[in-house]
C-alpha cells in the first residue's frame, strides 16, 4: 500500500473518521467485545418466498487490544498496556514521541485511532497510517512555545481567568489544589472509548482505578460499536483492520 491514499480514498475516509470523535452517545448493545450487525436487507420486489435471514458480521475487537505497538526506540507494548492505566507515559531515557510522551505537534488522535482500528502487523500500515492522510492541517496555526507549558499563543484577546480555578502554579502547587474535570491521558480514550453514561464516572475516577480494568469492558464494547459503524468503510478502502470478523 502506498504511504498515502489517493484523494478519492481520503475523501471517502474523512466522513467515517469524523464519526469516531462524536460517538460518545452511542448506546450499549451489551455485546461486549463482539458486535453483530445486519447486512443488506433483501429487495421487497416480487413475491417473497420466505423470511430471509440477514447476513451477520461479527467484530471481535480483542486482537486490537492485544496487538503490539512499537515505541520510538523499538520497544513494544500492547495497546491495552498503553491505554490502561490511562496516562501519558514518559521514559526520559528514550526518544519522546507518542506513545512515549508526546510533542505538541504530534497528531496523537490520529495515532491512537490507527492503533485502535488497524492491524499494526499488516504491510504498509502503522500508527502513522491515518496521520499520513491529507485531511489534517499541516501545522498548528500558531507556533508552539519552547517553554512550559508549551502552548501556542491564543487567538484574539481571550479573557483572563479569575476566581476559582485560576492562579495555580503547575510546578509547586500540591495535587490537592486541583479539581479533576476531564481525563485526557491518552487523547481519544475518554473521547472515543467511554460513552456518555460512563463519562462522568470515568472522569471522577483516576488511573489507579483503571488498573483494576473497571472500564475495560466498556472500552471493548465501544470499540465494537465503532467497528459496527465504520468497519466496512475501512475494509472498503483497502485497510487491514485489527478486529476479527466472522
3-state secondary structure of 246: coil
Handedness of CA 19, 20, 24, 28 (dihedral sign): positive
Q: What is the tens place of the pLDDT at every residue in 92-106?
A: 888 888 888 888 888
pLDDT of residue 188: 87
Highest averaged pLDDT of the listed ranges 90-104, 109-123, 134-148: 109-123
Q: What is the mean pLDDT of residues 183-187?
A: 84
Exposure string for 198-222, b = 16+ CB within 10 A, e = fewer: bbeebeebeeeebeeeebbebbbbb
DSSP 69: E
pLDDT of residue 231: 95
Residues 6+ apart with CB under 8 A from 76: 68, 69, 70
DSSP 190: I
Q: What is the mean pLDDT of residues 224-239?
A: 94
Q: What is the tens place of the pLDDT at every residue in 58-81?
A: 899 999 999 998 765 556 789 999
Amino acid at each position: 500500500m502506498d504511504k498515502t491514499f489517493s484523494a478519492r480514498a481520503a475523501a471517502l475516509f474523512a466522513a467515517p473518521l469524523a464519526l469516531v470523535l462524536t460517538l460518545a452517545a452511542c448506546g450499549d448493545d451489551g455485546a461486549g467485545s463482539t458486535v453483530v450487525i445486519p447486512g443488506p436487507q433483501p429487495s421487497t420486489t416480487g413475491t417473497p418466498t420466505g423470511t430471509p435471514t440477514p447476513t451477520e458480521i461479527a467484530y471481535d475487537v480483542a486482537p486490537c487490544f492485544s496487538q503490539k505497538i512499537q515505541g520510538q526506540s523499538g520497544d513494544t507494548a500492547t495497546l491495552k498496556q498503553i491505554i490502561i492505566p490511562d496516562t501519558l507515559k514518559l521514559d526520559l531515557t528514550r526518544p519522546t514521541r507518542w506513545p512515549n510522551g508526546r510533542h505538541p505537534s504530534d497528531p496523537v488522535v490520529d495515532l491512537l485511532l490507527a492503533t485502535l482500528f488497524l492491524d499494526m502487523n499488516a504491510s504498509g500500515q502503522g500508527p502513522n497510517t491515518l496521520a499520513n492522510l491529507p485531511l489534517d492541517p499541516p501545522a498548528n496555526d500558531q507556533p508552539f512555545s519552547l517553554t512550559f507549558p508549551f502552548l501556542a499563543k491564543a487567538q484574539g484577546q481571550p479573557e483572563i481567568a479569575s476566581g476559582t480555578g485560576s492562579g495555580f502554579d503547575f510546578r509547586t502547587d500540591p495535587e490537592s489544589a486541583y479539581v479533576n474535570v476531564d481525563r485526557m491521558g491518552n487523547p481519544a480514550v475518554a473521547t472515543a472509548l467511554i460513552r456518555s453514561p460512563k463519562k462522568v464516572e470515568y472522569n471522577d475516577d483516576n488511573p489507579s482505578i483503571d488498573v483494576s480494568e473497571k472500564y475495560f469492558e466498556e472500552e471493548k464494547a465501544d470499540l465494537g460499536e465503532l467497528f459496527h459503524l465504520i468497519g466496512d468503510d475501512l475494509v472498503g478502502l483497502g485497510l487491514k483492520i485489527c478486529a476479527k470478523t466472522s
